[in-house]
Copies of this chain bind each other. A is one copy, B any other.
Amino acid sequence: MVDKYTQNAVLFKALADKNRLQIVDMLSCGDKCACNLLENFDITQPTLSHHMKILCDCGLVSARKDGKMTMYSLNNQTVEDIKGCLCTKGGNSEECICDEDCDCKELHV
């Protein structure tokens, strides 16, 4: 049982690479197969396969076999979840960790 920060860090790690960011961007306008994605990168096929595994394992992308190809699809819900955990200042006071385990109350003037 991991805390939410460890859990979310897995998602941010998956996005912390320029190639994977571009893959997510490309999938955001429609599903694509690996060979179609590969055309747009200067990496080898095994490297792309490795990136796709990282994106799938964390739930950002789903894969389905279609004949000899594998079609990849962006998981919108996971993308929204990531946005949701990025709160801005004063935006989510009821979930503020300060209420639990830090002494920020004395800092809030």
> A107: which B residues are within 8 A, CB to CB?
30-32, 36
Residues of chain A at interface, number, CB under 8 A = 50
Whole-angstrom CA separation of A27 from B31 in the bound complex: 37
How many copies of the polypeptide does the oligomer hold?
Answer: 2
Closest to A87 in B: B28
20 A-B contact pairs sorted by A residue (CB < 8 Å)? A12-B21, A13-B16, A15-B86, A16-B16, A24-B86, A25-B97, A26-B98, A27-B89, A28-B92, A30-B89, A30-B107, A32-B104, A32-B107, A39-B102, A39-B103, A76-B88, A79-B86, A80-B88, A82-B86, A83-B86
Interface residues, chain A, with chain B CB atoms under 8 Å away: 3, 5-6, 8-9, 12-13, 15-19, 21-22, 24-32, 36, 39-40, 74, 76, 79-80, 82-83, 85-93, 96-98, 101-104, 107-108
